[in-house]
């Protein structure tokens, strides 16, 4: 279907492709992956003919139709259903010709072709696609100019899906979808009857909607069979041939396992330990994703506050006197990891603003600690960055007395490294802007971070770095995201926003996905409520906390010894040059392990 042969192309003097080749058979569904800035979108433009290669060629079958989402969504007086129907230009042309044709033979040809392309069911198919992307029957009849840019991009996506081109090219289609729309799109693409090539950093979509991965790396293209996890495993196996990668992976596993071993039976840390257990279970894809030059992300740890951080009692929230949410009675503790589920327009952002204190309750109560600090990240904040200033300039406004070296250190903790720190915002990529916003969000060491679609513009490796940062963070986390993979690895509580209410959701992401797709889900067996223990007095709690800090300090020191010994034992020269020293170190390691067990 699509042949890329010895492709070479440079942009502004920077080579993006060098003898890149790939064969994509008809009917294949491939995910195009690679680090930000490697040229994935440029490859789409080359395929569409918007750019011409410096050398090599891209071959498509004669008369093959290609389609992609329009860069500018329609904003006119046509209804949404009319906009989508107009995307099938052949159908529109045939219907127009049928109105004026007089030759019986031509009329027969037109009617036969209309039957072949199922023109009679076109309106129903268009309505189904719009419904799957979040437009109800009333919305489909409204003119497109009444919708915001994000919703119009959904219309543009619906239009290209309805047109059903022979080669469908989608560039980050989930960036303007909610979780519900993303789940629908995964299912739709998996059944798409023609060839599809999708640029995406959404791990769930790349596992469920495609049957192969086209990897762009080092200016070459490599095809892998299977979804993203399969690709990641196969590629990681190649990388593991290097002993340095093996040592790095083992050190990461040991670090997380040590945390689990220490805290899995400690009530206040059990949820964070469970998050690390999830990461350990999925270690194979994560290990490969964070390797290489991707900068880690670190959030400063907040002071500990007495629980709860926040509590709602019969609260209501809305705008202009009209409630969007009501009867909210929930609490948030400092070790909570909560994800808000629900379709766009149900009130997830309203709930986030209520928690952040940006929206006062219309009724009921919002009780929060007087010392509570909240960091709020929202995608629209990227528009508030000053285009002609650098990241250093932005952070200097918050820390005017701090020397530049420390300002750059704060930026580096958020993954904005030296080169980007001195670059004007207008020249930063979407991922670099997102990292800057994350740094600004957490600069005051908040006790809670609210993240509204934090993964837009982040590549897969940066998303995994964000997962690690959130699981290491010692404050509360509130997530609103279409990235189910992020929810699965970070969140341990789910709240469903639907019908004007916010209620705990007892299932997991698999059961929620099944709920959205209409698949029956077996209800879990009811469990007896756990009796709440009586709270100890403040003096007892203070003594216990002091004892815990002492124990943790002792364990940290022991783990430091253990790591030092293991690093020395990992050196093969010691066994050849100083066997007695190696034996002594092994005996010392056994003693330290015994001390570790006793301390735990």
Q: Quick one: tokens of 131?
A: 């419904």
C-alpha to C-alpha distance for 495 and 505, rounded to whole angstroms: 5
**pLDDT tens for residues 208-228?**
999 999 999 889 999 999 999
Position 329 confidence tier, pLDDT thresholds 50, 70, 90: very high
Rounded to an integer, the average pLDDT of 520-544 is 58
pLDDT at 289 over 50: no
pLDDT at 533 over 60: no
**Angle CA 538–544–550, to nearest 5:** 140
Residue 513 has a pLDDT of: 86
Which residues does 75 contact at the CB level (< 8 Å), separation at least 6?
144, 145, 152
Residue 5 has a pLDDT of: 93
Is residue 114 a contact partner of residue 91, using CB atoms and an 8 Å limit?
A: yes
Local structure of 374: helix, strand or coil: strand
SS (H, E, C) 250-267: HHHHHHHHHHHHHHCCCH
Position 286 confidence tier, pLDDT thresholds 50, 70, 90: very low
pLDDT at 339 over 90: yes
Residue 355 has a pLDDT of: 94
Rounded to an integer, the average pLDDT of 51-74 is 87
The residue among 355, 326, 301, 297 whose CA lies nearest residue 480 is: 355
pLDDT at 178 over 80: yes
Residue 536 has a pLDDT of: 65
How many residues in the chain?
600
**pLDDT tens for residues 359-368?**
999 999 999 9
**pLDDT tens for residues 501-529?**
999 998 888 888 888 877 544 434 444 55
Is residue 277 a contact partner of residue 265, using CB atoms and an 8 Å limit?
A: no
Find the range with the poorest average confidence among 173-182, 392-401, 459-468, 539-548: 539-548
The 10 Å Cβ neighbour count of residue 108 is 11
Local structure of 389: helix, strand or coil: coil
* 183 alpha carbon, distance to own chain's centre: 14
Residue 283 has a pLDDT of: 64
Residue 366 has a pLDDT of: 93
The residue among 283, 233, 234, 232 whose CA lies nearest residue 254 is: 283
Residue 461 has a pLDDT of: 85
Chain mean pLDDT for the chain? 84
Residue 362 has a pLDDT of: 92
C-alpha to C-alpha distance for 567 and 560, rounded to whole angstroms: 11
The residue that leads in pLDDT, 119 or 3, is 3
Share of the chain above pLDDT 90, in %: 35
Distances (CA, A) of 118 to 95, 104, 114: 12, 21, 6
The residue among 193, 223, 230 whose CA lies nearest residue 208 is: 230
Is residue 435 a contact partner of residue 400, using CB atoms and an 8 Å limit?
A: no
Residue 241 has a pLDDT of: 62
Which residues does 324 contact at the CB level (< 8 Å), separation at least 6?
317, 318, 347, 350, 500
Residue 121 has a pLDDT of: 84
Q: How far apart are the first and last CA of the chain?
A: 61
Q: Quick one: tokens of 33?
A: 């992956």
* 27 alpha carbon, distance to own chain's centre: 27
Position 288 confidence tier, pLDDT thresholds 50, 70, 90: very low
Residue 45 has a pLDDT of: 92
C-alpha to C-alpha distance for 307 and 313, rounded to whole angstroms: 16
In this structure, what are the phi and psi dihedrals at residue 467, rounded to the nearest 5 degrees? -60, -50
Rounded to an integer, the average pLDDT of 525-549 is 65
Cα R_g (the chain), whole angstroms? 28
The DSSP secondary structure of 169-228, one letter per residue, reads EEESGGGG--HHHHHHHHHHHHT-SSEEEEE---HHHHHHS-SEEEEEETTEEEEEES-H
Cβ-count burial of 221 within 10 angstroms (0-12 exposed, 13-18 middle, 19+ buried)?
buried
Local structure of 458: helix, strand or coil: coil
Rounded to an integer, the average pLDDT of 571-596 is 74
Is residue 476 a contact partner of residue 335, using CB atoms and an 8 Å limit?
A: yes
Find the helix or strand (DSSP H, E) in which 162 lies: helix 149-163
Which residues does 334 contact at the CB level (< 8 Å), separation at least 6?
302, 304, 305, 307, 309, 447, 448, 474, 475, 476
Position 240 confidence tier, pLDDT thresholds 50, 70, 90: low
Q: Quick one: tokens of 374?
A: 């909240």
The residue among 379, 376, 328 whose CA lies nearest residue 477 is: 376
């Amino acid at each position: 279907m699509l042949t890329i042969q010895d492709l070479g192309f440079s942009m502004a003097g920077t080579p993006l492709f060098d003898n890149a080749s790939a064969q994509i058979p008809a009917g294949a569904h491939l995910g195009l992956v690679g680090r930000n800035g490697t040229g994935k979108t440029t490859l789409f433009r080359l395929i569409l003919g918007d750019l011409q290669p410096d050398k090599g060629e891209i071959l498509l079958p004669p008369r093959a139709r290609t389609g992609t989402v329009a860069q500018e969504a329609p904003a006119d007086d046509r209804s949404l259903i009319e906009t989508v129907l107009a995307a099938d230009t052949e159908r529109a042309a045939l219907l127009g010709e049928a109105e004026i044709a007089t030759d019986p033979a031509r009329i027969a040809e037109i009617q036969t072709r209309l039957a072949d392309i199922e023109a009679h069911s076109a309106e129903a198919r268009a309505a189904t696609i719009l419904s799957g992307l979040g437009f109800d029957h009333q919305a489909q009849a409204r003119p497109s100019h009444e919708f915001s840019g994000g919703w119009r991009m959904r219309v543009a996506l619906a239009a290209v899906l309805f047109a059903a081109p022979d080669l469908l090219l989608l560039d980050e289609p989930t960036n303007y979808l909610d979780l519900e729309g993303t789940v629908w799109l995964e299912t739709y693409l998996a059944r798409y009857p023609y060839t599809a090539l999708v640029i995406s950093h959404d791990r769930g979509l790349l596992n469920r909607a495609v049957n192969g991965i086209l990897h762009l790396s080092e200016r070459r293209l490599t095809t892998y069979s299977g979804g993203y996890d399969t690709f990641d495993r196969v590629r990681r196996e190649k990388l593991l041939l290097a002993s340095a990668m093996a040592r790095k992976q083992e050190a990461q596993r040991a670090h997380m396992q040590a945390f689990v071993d220490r805290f899995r039976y400690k009530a206040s840390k059990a949820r964070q330990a469970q998050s690390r257990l999830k990461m350990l279970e999925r270690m194979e894809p994560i290990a490969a994703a964070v390797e290489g030059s991707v900068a880690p992300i670190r959030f400063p740890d907040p002071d500990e506050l007495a629980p709860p951080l926040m509590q709602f009692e019969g609260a209501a929230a809305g705008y202009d006197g009209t409630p969007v949410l009501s009867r909210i009675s929930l609490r948030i503790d400092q070790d909570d990891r909560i994800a808000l589920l629900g379709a766009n327009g149900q009130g997830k952002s309203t709930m986030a603003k209520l928690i952040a204190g940006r929206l006062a309750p219309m009724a009921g109560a919002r009780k929060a600690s007087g010392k509570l600090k909240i960091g709020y990240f929202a995608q629209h904040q990227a528009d508030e960055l000053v285009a002609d200033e650098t990241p250093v300039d932005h952070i200097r406004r918050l820390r005017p007395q701090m020397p530049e070296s420390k300002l750059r250190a704060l930026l580096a903790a958020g993954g904005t490294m030296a080169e980007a720190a001195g670059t004007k915002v207008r020249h930063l990529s979407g991922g670099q802007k997102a990292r800057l916003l994350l740094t600004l969000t957490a600069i005051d060491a908040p006790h809670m971070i609210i993240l509204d679609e934090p993964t837009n513009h982040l590549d897969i490796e940066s998303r995994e770095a964000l997962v690690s940062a959130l699981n290491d963070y010692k404050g509360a986390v509130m997530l609103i995201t279409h990235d189910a993979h992020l929810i699965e690895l970070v969140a341990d509580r789910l709240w469903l926003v639907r019908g004007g209410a916010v209620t705990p959701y007892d299932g997991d992401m698999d059961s929620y996905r099944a709920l959205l797709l209409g698949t029956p889900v077996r209800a879990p067996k009811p469990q007896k409520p756990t009796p709440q223990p009586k709270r100890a007095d403040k003096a007892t709690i203070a003594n216990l906390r002091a004892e815990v800090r002492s124990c943790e300090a002792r364990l940290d020191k022991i783990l430091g010894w253990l790591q030092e010994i293991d690093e020395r034992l990992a050196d093969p020269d010691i066994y050849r040059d100083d066997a007695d020293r190696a034996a002594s170190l092994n005996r010392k390691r056994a003693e330290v392990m015994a001390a570790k067990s006793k301390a735990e």
